[in-house]
Every structure is written in C-alpha cells, then in structure tokens.
Structure 1
Amino acid sequence: MAKICKSSWCLLILAIVLQLVHTCICLSEPDLLIQFKDSLKNTGALSNWDAKVPSCKGDQPNWSGVLCDKGNVWGLKLENMGLKGDINEDALSQLKSLRTLSFMNNDFEGPLPDMKKLGALKSFYLSNNKFSGEIPADAFVGMLSIKKIHLSNNQLSGPIPSSLGTLPKLMELTLDGNQFSGQIPDFTQERLINVNFSHNHLGGQIPASLSNLKAASFSDNSDLCGAPLEPCPGPPERKLSVVTIVLVAIAVVVALGAIVAVIIILSRRKKAPQLGDAPAAAAAPQGHNKPPSEDLDRLEKGMSPDRGSEGKKSDQNIKLSFLRDDVGKFDMSDLLKASAEVLGSGMFGSTYKAALNTGPVMVVKRYRQMNNVGKEEFHEHMRRLGRLSHPNVLPLVAFYYRKEEKLIVSTYVENVSLAVQLHGNKSRGLSSPDWRTRLKIVKGVSKGLLYLYNSLPSLIAPHGHLKSSNVILNENNEPLLTDYGLLPVVNLEQARDQMIAYKSPEFKQNGRITKKTDVWSLGVLILELLTGKFPSNFLQQGKGSDTDLPTWVHSVVKDEWTVEVFDKDMQGTKHCEGEMMKLLKIALILCEPEIDNRWDIKEAVDRIEEIKERDDVDDFHSSYTSETDMRSSRGLSEDFINVPMNG
C-alpha cells in the first residue's frame, strides 16, 4: 500500500512538472507564423518568411505582409497572393499583439475560420474568397474588441449569425455578395456606420435599428421590406358587411351627383372663349415644373427644346448640384437655351454638347439605368467622384437627380474618343495614331486607373467600364478617363448586361468581379491599341462565345512572337518592335483568365512605365523579356484596402 502511495505521489509530481515545463515553453512569433504558413498552400508570395530572421525590427517588418509595432506582430496583410489551404487559428491566437488580419482576394475555401479563438482582434477582412457554408449563431461571441468585419463576395449561406448584433464596438460589417437567407437579426450598436447586406437571399422586415441606413445596403434581396425599402404588406383587411357596402355605395352616388351638378352650373356661367383672347402659352403653368427630360427628348429627336412663349426661361429653374468651385454656375434652363447637339447615344443614355451663352462648352450625359439608387446615396457618391483630381481623369462639374433618370455634367474636350482615333479615322480621311502616341495613351490611361484604385479603395472595380470609347483624348493626345466609378449606382441588372467589368473571365466563370477586373480591362484596351482590332467584333462575327481579342492574339503568336500581330496602320514603328513586343506581352499577362497569374494595378503601371519609344538595340529579339521571366517576377499587390494602421 505504501508503495502505491509513493507511486501516486510520483505521478502527481511528474504531472505538475510537465505542466510547468509546457507553460514555460512559448513559441516565438517567427515560429508561430511559420506554423501558420505551413497550414497554407500556394505560399510563393511568402518566400521570405524565415524563422531565422526576426519577423519585425521595431516598427519595420522583415517579412512580406507582416505589420509591426514596437517589435511585435500586430497585423497580417496577405492580400492578392493566391493563398489556399486552412487558416491555423490556434497559431494566430498565440500572437499576443495581433489586432488585424486581411486575407482578401485569395482562394480560401470551405467554412469560415473559428474567429472566436482570436478574441483580441479589432478588424478582419476576408472578402473576395470562396468561403462557404453556414456560420454558427455564436461564431462571434466574446469578440468584444472587434470593430470591422468584411466578408463580402464569398459563398456563405444560411442565416446571419445573431452574435454579430452583440458586438459592442462593431462599426463596419459587409456581408454583401453571399447567399445568406432568412431575416436580418437585430443590431443595437450605435456606432454601426458602414453596413452592407446587398446581393443575398434575405427576407422579412428590416430591423428598426437599421432603418436609417441607405437603401443600397439592402438591394438585390427580393423578399426584404420595411424602411429604408418599401413598407411591408399590412395584415389582411377585414371584409366589410353587406350593410356597410350598401351605405358606402349610396354615399358615392350622392357625391357623384353633387359633382355633376356643380360642373353643369359652372359650364353655364363660363363665357365661350373667343379666338385670340389670350396667347396659347397662357394655358401652360407659369412655373417650370416639367422635368428636363421632355426638352431632352425633343433635342434627341432633332427638335428644338420647348422654351416657352417668346423664348423666356421659366421663373422656377431646375437647380443642378455643382461639384467644383472653379466653374461658373448655371442651371438647367441655361443648358436648354444653349446651342446644343447630340454627340451620341450609348447603352445607358444619350450625350449632349451644350455651348452656354456665357461660359464654357459642357457635356451632359443622361443616364436612365440608375433608378434603383436613392437620392441621398446618389448625392453622396457623386460628391465622392467630384473630389477626384488627376491629369488623366475627366473631372465632373455637376449633376442632377430624378428618380427616373440622372444627368452628369462635365467639361467638353475638343478632341475625340480613343475609339474614334483607332477605328474611325480612316472614314474621316485621317491617319491612325503612331506608336509614340499610342504608348503615351497607354501610360496615361494606366496612371489614371491607378489613381482611381488609390482614391476609391472601397470599390472592387474603381472604373468598372474601361473601354476605348470611354477614353477621351485632348488636343495634346493626353487621355482622360470617363464613365468611371459608376458601378455602385447603376442598376445591377443593366450593369451585368452592359458594363465591361461584368464581361471579365472571373465573372463569366465565378459570377464575381475582383480587384483585378479593371486590370483585365486595361489589358484588353492595350491589345486594342496595339492590334487595331475592335474587341467586340470577335463576338459579333460569330467566332464563338469563347473567342475574344486576347484569345485571337494568343492564336497569332502561339508558335512564334511575330510583329504581324500589330496594327498595319500604326506609323513610326521602325526600331521600336522590341518595346512594342514588351507591351504586347504585358497586355497578355493583364488579360490572364486566371486571376492569380494577372498582375495587380501597381505592378502593371510600373512595368508599363518601363516601356520606351525605341529599342535600345536594333535586334529586338534580344531586348525584350521572355514571357516566362515576366510571369516569374510577378510581385505582390500594393492595392490594400483600408487595413487600419492603429487597429
């Protein structure tokens, strides 16, 4: 018996010692990050993660995607890296200073990670992946410090977890672009300022606590109702009794009889009108209450706008909302009085040129595919676009809001669009742009696009409709981007049918657009500039639904990189073939169907800026980088989205 007791005491002491040893053994931050990395796949972008090198040196990281604060890891920013596999929450939970995570624009699949294990997080961004399945109701219980949760554009389903409504510090929540169903739980947080439930399968009444949000936050959920959307149907009305119906019918008959009697009496007192008693215009209302669409309809049909009798403008002018202070103010009547012409009619509406009597020439674009957006949201988005300022982005001057249509006013640029320069000059007896001009246009467009990415970080596709007809050239052939940033305010059904972003390979394959969708559009535009081929012609010529301009270029250069692919009308190409070939290969990488193989916008601009007007040597076959080398040098994306530097 004594021996048994002694053995038991030994076992107890051994257990205590082992527990103490386990407690004392703490993995370092580099070891924990390597452990986390080992759970991932396709980690080429993390090649400089080395346990022998400290992950942080003060506030400066030694490893890619690591954010440091006083020598500790406080955040991971691993975006646009093509990462797959599992997220090791256990390893991350031991990083005591970790406060923010961003794994956006990767290829993670399966259930959402167990975020409860990371209770100290202040923000995490998992948008634009392939996470799927239902999220448990208690998935976020205990995350008392969390402020920002971004889960947009995944494949998550089932009800929205009720624990989201219990997070006291939550300020941002984006769940749009998933497959959530059921009712929206109640949210009581007063600091909740950025919320998006759009593009799901939600239904029922919107909680009163969310009724002050914009309607766009709930769009594309056909069964949702209540403020800020349409009111929910009321309870069925009780059937009226027979006696009530009879009494109501008698009252209606009596009322109708009284109305008829009054009309007869008034008609007898009224003097028969004499021809020429008053001008015909006197019958019209004195205030200009009719919408400008009526005058614009007349203008579009080639008729003069109706300006009232004797050409006088209305007393009650329709006011435009101005976005710039350096342009003289005018109103709708000034536009309608201006010398005007229809410049063109596109998929979204018509474009007019209006030369004001006192002031510059303006361009008015009329949009009829934005009637799902509310007035407050539209005003806010236009003001956001109005703050943009870049040499390669056409500034907006003013706008006008009506439920049925919108007007956007910008300054008139004397030259024509890039589409006309490339494809319409022959019919006008003009020469096509030479290589030097085309390279200048490519560099200007790419810099303008990079500016949009940096200035509109919350938009997945900051331009969304980049094509040659939306690039205007000024008198110096400097390109100006137009029709940018409209993706959030165009009706989704029309956007999917007509906007370039929704023609991208990723939308055709996966039904989504990404941060590299505009990059794909830029690649197609460069191919159009180099080949002189109009992109949409391939589909129109019936060559098959999978045939597009990048596919055609690949077919031409499949066996040999040949200058035969370039536009034969392009002048000034002597001793430039090597640089032209470099740009062609850049364009093909930007047009890669696989998003992982496509450069981000920052690297695309850097590579384009390296292109010169002339070859360094005459033998261009030795002067351009091979396609394989260019692919292997694909860098990391610097287009991160609002991961807070202070948590």
Structure 2
Amino acid sequence: MASPSPPPATSTTFTILLILISFEVFSSKAASTDAEALLKFKGSLEMSNDVLGNWAAGSSPCTGDKANWVGILCEKGNVWGLKLENMGLKGHIDVESLEGVPQLRSISLMKNDFDGSLPDVKRLGALKSLYLSGNHFSGDIPGDKFSSMLSLKKVHLAQNHLEGQIPWSLAELPRLLELRLEGNHFSGQIPNFAQKTLKVFNVSGNEQLRGSIPRAFSNFDPSSFTGLHCLCGKPLDNPCTTSKMPSIASIIMVSIAVTAALLAIGAGIVILSRRNQSSSNEENPAHSKSPNASASSPAIGSRSPDRGSSHGSGAGKRAAESAKLSFVRDDTERFDLSDLLKANAEILGSGCFGSSYKAALTNGPVMVVKRFKQMNNVDREEFQEHMRRIGRLKHPNLLPLVAYYYKKEEKLLITNYVEKGSLAVQLHGHQAVGQPAIDWPSRLKIIKGVAKGLRYLYAELPSLITPHGHLKSSNVLLKANFEPLLSDYGLIPVVNQEHAQEQMVAYKSPEYTQLGRITKKTDVWSFGMLIFEILTGKFPANFLHQSKSGGDEENLASWVKSIPEKEWIGQVLDKDMGPTKNSDGEITKLLKIAIACCESDFEKRMDLREVVEKIEELKEKDGDEDFYSSYASEADIRSSRGLSDELNFAI
C-alpha cells in the first residue's frame, strides 16, 4: 500500500515564512516604540557633552541581544535595562516616557548630578532593579513610594541627601534582595523588615536613626549600622534596655531646667550683692542707722539677707510657675510637670511643627506631648487665652487638649494617647504594623465622624476663617472601634505665619496658591482631599505638583475626574479595602461629594453644611435615592441665586 504523501513543501515553507515575518514586524514595532520613548527620555536630561550621541532617530537601540546605543542593555531585540552611570547627567527624570519601554526591568543612574525629590518610580511597576546612589536627591520620601512594585529586588539610594523616615513600603516588597541607604539623613525607627529574601542591607551614616534594630538584621554584619549610636539590639553590642526611650526630661525639658537654673543664679547674685552691701554698712559707721546704736539694734544691712531671701523666694516662685503645666479641662486627672519628667518617653514621630512623644506616667494615664517651635511670635496672654478656648471644646470626634506648657521659644501641648494611632498609619502602613486593612463600612464611619467634628468646630469657632486648618490623615486618630478623633485643630491663630504658609494644609489649597488667601471653604477642600485619600489609599502629597503646562496644581481630584465614572470602582478604589458588593452606588456618591469639595473655584465649592448633610445621607449599602441628580439641581439653584446666602469670606 502506498504511504501517504507528505504535505506540500510550499505550504510548510509558507507557514514558517509567515511566522518569521510576523516576528520581524513585531520586533521592529517594539524596537521603534523603545526608540521613541528613549529619545523622549533623553530630551528631559541635561548633559555637559553629548554622551548619548548615538541615541538618534532612525536607528534601533537593540539588534537581538546586542546594544546599538550607549548605556542600553538588550534582550531579544527589546530594551530591558538602562545603565547610564557617571555621565554627568542632570535635569528631570521623565518616568512617563520610560513607561513606553514595556520590557524595562533595570535602571541605573548612579554617580550623576540629579537632585530634588526621587522620581515617581512607582509608575514602573515591573521594575526589578533601581540604582540611584551617588546623586543629590533630597527631601522626605512618601511612605508609599514603592508600594505595588512587587517585582522590585534591588534598591540602591546610598550617598544622597534623603531625609525623614525610611519608607514603610520598602519593608513590604516581597522579593527584596538588596537595600542600600547609607550616607543619607534618614531619621526615626527602622521599619520592621521581615523578608527572608533580604541579603544586603546598609543604613550606616544615618545618624538620626534610633530605636531597636528589627530582628531580621540580627545576623547581618555590624558594618551595616556603622556610626548609629542611637540604635540598639543585635548585631550591635548595644543591648536595648527595658525603657524604650530616654525620659522626657532628657528630651524636651532641658530648656526648662536651664531657665529655672538661670533664675536661681540671678536670685543668688542679688542675695550676695545685698550681703556684701550689709557687710560694708556694718564696717562703715557712716552707713549705720545711728552712731549710738547698740549691738541689739538691727541695722538696715542686717535685714538684707531677709529681703534677699524674699527676693530669691520670689524668683524661685516665678521659676516654678514658668515650669508649671496649665490644665484646660476639669474632667481629667491632674499630674505635675515632675510626673511628666519621670515618665519613659517613646518618639511617635516628627511632623511639620515638631516631634511627638508618648509618655507613660507612673501609676497614671498615658499622654502624648507635642513640641511646637513655630509659635514663638505669640505672647503669653494671647496663647493662654486661645488654649483655654480650645480646651472648652468638647465633642466625640475631637481629641481634647488636656494641658499646655508655655515658653517663649517653644510650646508643649499635651493630649491623651490613642492606642490605634493615626488614620495615615492604618491606611498606608497597616501591614507594617500588623493590622488588617480598613474595610468600606469603617472608612465610611471615619468620614462621617470627621464631618461631624468639622461641623462642631465651625459652630464653636465662628471667628476663625479655617477652624481646623491642618486636616490630613495623620491628624485623624482612630479609637478601637474606628471612631475618628480630629487633632491639631484651631492652631492657625497661634502659629507663625511664615511657617503656617510653608507647612499647614490650608495653605496648599487652590485659593491660597492662586489668590494668596484662605477662606471659610478651605477646610472643605482639605476634607475632600482626605476623602479621596481614604477611598483610593493614595497619598495626596504625591499628586500635589505643578502641571507641565504651568497651570493649576494637579491633585487626587483631577486624577479621579480623568478616569471615566463607570471605571471608578475598578480603577480608583483602594484594592486593600476588600469587597464592596452592593455598595458601589454609595461609594460613587461619596467620590462625587469629594469632587465637589475639591472644586478649585471656592465660590462654586460646596460649603461645609451641605457636605455634612450629603455625607450623613450615605449608607453602607446602595439605596434607592437619586443622590447626584438632587445635588446637581441644588447646585444649579445655588448658582442662579449667586452668593447672597453663602458664608462670608475673609482674606
């Protein structure tokens, strides 16, 4: 029987030819895409000479595994790495253009002249290696800078000028192998790195790091922590004591002791001076009360020690009063400054205006002491009156002020300690502190509580243009049941204006950046940004940068508005929030409220009363009411009647 004939050779050859042609077309297209993106990236750089001269239009970066352009690493015709080291490069690192290189996995820009903030590398989610050591990058790094970069294995940021806390998102990278941060100015505690994959870690030279070294590094070489005298635990020969931190006396009260000592010295000088005067009078009869005065008749000089003693007692009394805590509430347990001085202190963090300390009083409550150095333009009477005013406030969603200490150079504000910590930590660092993510019902509860707290502040502090003025997630503390407590409210009147304008949230609002003023609706803008942060899980600060066109500042609101509404649930919401089944409609309503709060034209922005009313209508599950159409109609009515019944605005 004849064997079956093979398929025609021409057919097999044609199939192979089609595959080869398709592969060549795909490779050519990929190479063209890589070239365009890299040339755009080159355009953002500055260089003293054309070190990237062979990066030219019309040529291909790669041919197979061979690189045709300097500083390019290739694999199968694709660009997978940039190695542009020690080339004198500076300027803007255009991360957006690098998103057009889809196979890019490694970037090295070491030993160049780049400065400013770190680039937004989180946009390159597939990156495996990032080498930026030996530049001039500076400033704080947002905690979530590296979140979602699940493939990142090597991060080298050594020998820059970076400061603030080490980003917690680095401790959450599941595949991290190497982390080099030496030669910077990082401060605070080292996050709890627990990756078993981590082989290289170095933070030497960051002299402001303090606290215990995480257990994951107990077997590392001690050279990883060279020069860090405030760290304790293995691998250093500096065991951690039972006291977590030095006493508050050694941290924040040295100036008080110095003041008291100076007053005592001054009193002593007066006493000695009067005693010398007394001795002189007794030796010189001309200064006696009477030439015939008897020994039992006291001379004026003999009373000097008594008057001097009285003077010294008065100085001591004034010193004691100057070092005295002033309580502003009657419903709190009293304690003395000496009790505070004896307490063990733990640094909770460093904010815009100073540091916060947790102080556990012996046989007493746990307090938080905040230092403020940016209030030295306020006189004692004005400061005391304002603190008494704040102390009278009482609401379930306000963290009450307990006491304060006044000194010209710095002030201390004392509040109760809230165990669960800040909303910022729970939103952005819950994994690092071993807490589950906040679910949708709890986030809605937090937003409603913040709204109620703001409404109360507006009612009780009507004379303040912005009754809160510094609303952000780190100033929202959470009780165990997720009931929020607002903190750092009402401080604008007592903060030096130059510092307030640099650091307080109110002065980041559109009306201030555009018109140089804050209004009665500035807190509403801050609240809108907070709602976006709660729902998206993103730091607003990451979105506050000047647009390339030089227009208005971009922010979370503009980012949300740039995404089609039907895609909000899938693209905008924080993935850590978990399932939101049967709640999509309510979440959409809340996002629209936030957009209305963040309207850049404050005259068109909802006022606080409207915001609170709309938020109180929201439910955990979808309802039947057509919320947004009702809001739109109200907005139209308000627009048609003008500003006659709006709140008065003040510069």
Structure possessing the higher relative contact order (Cα contacts under 8 Å, 6 or more residues apart): 1
**TM-score where L is the length of structure 1:** 0.49
Report the TM-score when normalising by structure 2: 0.48
